[in-house]
Structures are given as C-alpha cells and as structure tokens.
Amino acid sequence: MVESSKTRREAIKTATGGVAAALACLSIPDFVFPGQNQDEELVPFLDMPRTPPNRLDWETLDSWITPQDQVFSVQHYGTPDVDHAAFQLELAGRIDHPRTFSLDQLKSLPVKEQLMTLECSGNGASKGFMNAVYNGNWRGTPLAPILKECGLQADAREVVFFGFDNNVETLREGTDRELSVPVPFGRSMSLDDAMNLNLLLAYERNGKPLEKRNGAPLRLIVPGWYGIANIKWLKRIEVRDSRYMGRFMGRDYVTVRGHRNEGEVEFVETSVSRMNLKSIVARITTRSRNKDAVLKSYGAAWDDGTGISKVQIQVDGGEWQDAKLDEAPRAPFSWVFFSRELGALKPGKHRVVSRAIDVNGRIQPSAQEDEIALKKTYWEAYQQWPREIDVAG
Amino acid sequence: MKYVLEKHSQGLVSILTLAYAILALSRPCLATSSEQKPNASQRCGNQTGVVEGTVVYRADKQRPWRYARYYVNKRDRGQLAESVVVIRVDSREPQLAEKRAPVIVDQRNFQFTPETIAIRVGDRVKFLNNDKGIHNVHSRHLRHTFNISIPSGGEHTERFMYAGGIRRPYRIGCVYHSAMRSWIFVFNHPHYQVTKANGHFSLDKIPPGEYMLEMVHPAGKLSWSQKIKVRPGRITSIDIVVSPDNRTEKRLRE
C-alpha cells in the first residue's frame, strides 16, 4: 500500500546538480559562437541534415582558418600507417638524378607557407555532402626546385604522384580480358603544372604536423586544384614521358559534360583538376531592430586563384544585390567571406541564394544552366545552392 | 459552539500550514499540492518506485558545443534532447520484450530520423528510405553486423537480440553517405528513456534498491552517472546537469 505521504517526494539533488540546477534555471546558458553577434539568432535552413564532426559546420562558421575538428577526410584505399622515422620520399623516372628524401631532409630545404582552400570535388553534389571544404595554412617545401635539381630530361612530360595507400584494381571486369593488378593510389599532372612554384610538399598545417587522416607525414599541395589532386601519404614522385591513366585520372573523378553544338549536345570527358568558381550562403541570422526582425546572410566564396570580383545575393527570385566582401583576411587561393543584410522578410518561407563573379566576368551558374544541367557526373558541383528558410511571425 | 469549532478549525489549519511550510523549507523538493501527480500511486505501485527529472546542458562560452543547436531547443533552461537515461540493471538474463510494433527510423534529407533510439532486446527496427536516392544501413557491432542497401521508397527490418546497454550501442551508418549516423541502444530491461525536447525523463515501476542512474548523449559525447536509491511508493526526483566537463572523447564501444 502506498503511504499516505505518497505525494511527498524524496528529492535527491546531486552534489553539484542541486545548486547548479537552480543556477541553470536562473542564468541564461551562452550558446552564441565567437563569429556570431550576441543579439543574433540563427535561422536554421529547412530540410538540411545535421552537420557531423570532422566536417565544416557552415552555420557556426566563425574562423577564416578552419579548425582541425571541422576538416574532412576522404580516402579510397584506406588510411595507411606510415612509419615517419623510416619515411623516404622517392623521386624517379625521366630525371638525371633519382634520389630519396627523409622527412628531416625535406624539412631542411627552403620553407614556404601556402594559404589555400581545399575542396573535395564532390562537395555540393547533394545536401548530404555539403561540408567537404576547409581553409588552411600549409607549410612545406616547394616542389619545383626539387624537380629541377633532379635534372629533368628532355622527354619529361608528365609527373605522377603516388601514395602509400594501395589496392587491387580490376579492369574490364566480367569479360574475357578481365585484369586485376595491385596499384598504389596515383594522380598526375603535366610537367608545366608540376613546375608551378605554388606546389608544395607539405608536412604541417596551421603550425601542427599533419594528422594521419589528412595525409601525414607528407602531402602534395596544389593550390587551386580540387582535393583529389592533393595527394595524401605521398610516397613517390615519378617523372614520365607518357601520360599516366590510373583509375583516378581516367575512370573516376572524370567529369562528363555536354556542350551544345549546332543544336546537338556533344559530351566530353575531362579529368577533375582545377577548382571552379563557387559561393554558398553559410548561415542566416535574425536580430530585432526597432521591433522588426532583420535578417542577414553570411557566406564564403572561392575559386582556383583567378580572383573573386563580387558576390551577389538573391531573395525569392528578386534582383541580385551585391554582398559585402570581407577586406581581410584575403589570400589568392583562399576563400573570401561575405555578408549582406536581407532586410525585414515577411513571416513564411523564403529562398536565399548567392552567386560569385570572378575578375574575368565568369558567373557561378545555377543548376538549370547548361553548364551544370548538361553535366552528367556529380564531381565539380559548383552550382548556386539556394537556401530555404522559414521566418517566424 | 459552532464559532468555537470554526475558530479551532482555523487555528488547526494555520498550524498545519505553518508545519507544512517548515517542512517544505527543510526539504526543498517536498511536493506541494500543486506538484501532486494524479496518477502517482499508479506510477509507483506498492512495491516499486519512480525516478524522474530533467537533463540540462549548461553551456560554456569558452568551450562552445557547435551542435548544441540540434539538441538544446530552449536556451534559457538548456533542456537536452536525445539523451539516453537508464537505471543500470546488472542482469545476465535478458528480459525479452513482448513482440511489439517495430520502431521506425527514416532516412530523409540524408539524415537518420530519429538519430538516437533505445529499444528492448528482441525489438525490431524498421529502416525506411524516403529520400530520392539510394541509402544503406550498416552496423559493425561486435555481436551483430549487417550491411543492407535500401532503394528510394524501400525499407528493411532488423531484429536486435544483443543488449549492449548504455556502453555498447549499435552505431548505424550509410556506406554511400558517410556523414549519416544513428545510434541504437538495446537494453534487456524496461528502465530506460530517450529524452525529448523538454529534456524530461520518467522511469516507472523500478524495484526498490540502490542503483546507478546513467545518462549518455552519443552525439555530444556526454556521459554522467550517479548512485540513487529507489524506495517503494516514492518518486525520486533528480535533475541531471551536464556541461563540457562531462564530455568524453572515448567513442562508445560497438
């Protein structure tokens, strides 16, 4: 039988919880991020998934240099364990003086730092993959002087970069000519591109050694090129006299794009390489001003180093309005942040989208324009990305 | 006579009121009449007790939790949603639930919804795919692995026969979309709950005794535990207040 004092509660408060709970009731927990004004409230995007760890969190974007816990990592052949103490970078092929470098030897070479926004070429292909981009300050030694010192032979045309990660690849699967071979992860570029002084053999990012998942101990950094070209766990650089056509040059990371030619659409396949002009609205906030709710958009724009001229914002299909580009910090291969007040939007659903324009007048296309609509593969997803919000009454 | 009786009645009421006030001050969580639960006796029963309270997240500006916006809807109180609260029951004999309708987990907008569920051993979970493209559900749990692709509009049902408790949930992912994640906690007893937006939990019909009350928020990597006593016919009220101090970098074992 329940005691007559059944309505009495025997309350137990934790040693900290009792007082803390009371304080929690009285105080207002501070959930505002450094990049957000105190009087701003986030207006969440509709129908977007939650951001997981180790991906860029657009809605709390507060740092021009991306912290490590928001840096994505993609691998195709797993994450290799590389013995840093025994590490040797091999240079071979059509060079007069093949040689190897230990990590210490590379660190003793001239040092250069390179600011760069690195984006996965699949970033933006769907709302489930919108956060694979980050900005960082890479530290290493330039590649070009090393290649030059090795003595490039007259027939050197292409430079191939191989990683420690490897797998078995099967060609012509299911046919009489099926062929399975073990191969290292590899990507290549022309000798001209490889001799660009901006390319770096990087061993640090933001002042710290690379993490294993981001390519430690050594990574090729190619400013202005998509992430696939920035080889992780770099093991060997081979100078060749003929084109390299590994899986990630000729079969995957190949963009199939249609072009209209005299009324017909012709399709061309190209290997993913240089980044495209792109911008995105990172977050929208609201604050009260004279009893009205005023909205503001924030975002980022980036390209292959050509140069962003302006970013424009459109609300509900209206006129394109110029956004304000942050004057600093800026760097040729890094994103630029922008913002624009949207005014007092009526309660209800709204559509906000940004587009970037570069110094040559190139305009970031919408998903409906041929440049994107006739692209049949998901890589290089640089279309305008509309954001849907619901403004409270 | 009537006047004397009324006068005495008023005095008695005043004395009782004063006594009650004194008791209330000395035991601040003593229930007042306004806090009485109409079904308290039904909830407690003669032989069991109730443990209830609210999970609260206390933010720290110096250590912001970026994803708090998904789980703390009302910032003035910090009520924490989607935390798993459980009375630890050490029993090796699984208490299979009676067969009941499967719990639904949908894949929509590249998100498992709900992200965190708690079920009884023997329960089923029906995974749906209401996105336009293909998804997948896979688990690499030590005791129970599966890897099933689900086309748009499709479904797959899985029965969970291993109770890993609060320390060994199933971590569900999609092989096509690595950002998607979900946790399934499986218990071999009924004394668990996943908090909703108000952070509230209420665990009923608990046999009397001393227990560990535990809380885990898998997405926030938060964990908490406290010894409590459950008495028959009593409601034990306890607020679980966590902060970045309760964060653990250890991933829950699968």
* B177 confidence band (pLDDT: 50, 70, 90): very high
Closest residue, chain A, to B31 (C-alpha): A8
Residues of A in Cβ contact (< 8 Å) with B180: 49, 128
| Residue at a domain's end among B190, B212, B242 | B190
The two tokens of residue B90 are 């050490």
For chain A, list residues whose CB is within 8 angstroms of any CB belonging to chain B: 1-3, 6-14, 16-17, 20-21, 23-25, 28-34, 42, 44, 47-52, 55, 57, 59-60, 126-129, 131
Closest residue, chain A, to B38 (C-alpha): A7
CA atoms within 13 A on the CB side of A365: 13
Say yes or no: B121 and B203 in one domain.
Answer: no
Domain A63-252 part of CATH 3.90.420.10: yes
For all residues of chain A together, what is the average pLDDT?
A: 91
Say yes or no: B29 and B71 in one domain.
Answer: no
Closest residue, chain B, to A46 (C-alpha): B109
Encode pLDDT of A230-259 as tens digits. Answer: 999 999 999 999 999 999 999 999 999 999
Distance from CA of A37 to the nearest CA of B (A): 13
CATH number for the segment(s) A33-61+255-393: 2.60.40.650
Encode pLDDT of A91-109 as tens digits. Answer: 999 999 999 999 999 999 9
Q: Where are the domains of chain A?
A: 33-61+255-393, 63-252
pLDDT of residue B92: 60
Nearest to A232 by CA among A219, A217, A222, A247: A219
Judge whether residue A52 has pLDDT over 70: yes
Say yes or no: B97 and B220 in one domain.
Answer: no
| CA dist., res. A109 & res. A336, Å (int) | 31
Compute the average pLDDT of residues A307-322. 98
Interface test with B, best of A13, A25, A27, A31 (most B CBs within 10 A): A31
B30/A8 touch (CB, cutoff 8 Å), yes or no: yes
Number of domains observed in the structure of chain B: 3
Say yes or no: B104 and B185 in one domain.
Answer: yes
* A12 confidence band (pLDDT: 50, 70, 90): very low
* A48 confidence band (pLDDT: 50, 70, 90): very high
Say yes or no: B28 and B5 in one domain.
Answer: yes
The two tokens of residue B66 are 């970026």
Encode pLDDT of B74-128 as tens digits. Answer: 777 899 999 999 999 876 666 666 778 999 999 999 999 999 999 999 999 999 9
| Residue at a domain's end among B190, B209, B227 | B190
CATH number for the domain including B109? 2.60.40.420
pLDDT of residue B245: 94
pLDDT of residue A14: 38
Judge whether residue A369 has pLDDT over 60: yes
Distance from CA of A16 to the nearest CA of B (A): 8
Nearest to A74 by CA among A227, A188, A201, A209: A227
Say yes or no: B112 and B140 in one domain.
Answer: yes
Closest residue, chain B, to A44 (C-alpha): B69
Judge whether residue B41 has pLDDT over 80: no
Say yes or no: B102 and B183 in one domain.
Answer: yes
Count of CB atoms within 10 A of residue A1's CB?
8
* A40 confidence band (pLDDT: 50, 70, 90): confident
| CA dist., res. B248 & res. B221, Å (int) | 6
Say yes or no: B172 and B203 in one domain.
Answer: no
* Beta bridge mates, A281: A299
Say yes or no: B206 and B245 in one domain.
Answer: yes
Task: Please answer whether residues A93 and A155 qualify as being in contact, where contact means their C-beta atoms are separated by less than 8 angstroms.
Answer: no
pLDDT of residue B99: 79
Say yes or no: B98 and B172 in one domain.
Answer: yes
CATH number for the domain including B224? 2.60.40.1120
A28/B75 touch (CB, cutoff 8 Å), yes or no: yes
Closest residue, chain B, to A17 (C-alpha): B241
pLDDT cut 90: percent of chain A above it: 85
pTM of the model: 0.85
B70 → closest Cβ in A9, A12, A50: A50
For B28, the domain range is 1-36
A14/B226 touch (CB, cutoff 8 Å), yes or no: yes
Judge whether residue A390 has pLDDT over 60: yes
pLDDT of residue A358: 98
Encode pLDDT of A174-195 as tens digits. Answer: 999 999 999 999 999 999 999 9
Judge whether residue A6 has pLDDT over 50: no
pLDDT cut 70: percent of chain A above it: 89
Distance from CA of A55 to the nearest CA of B (A): 8
**What DSSP state is assigned to residue A334?**
S
Compute the average pLDDT of residues B62-72. 91
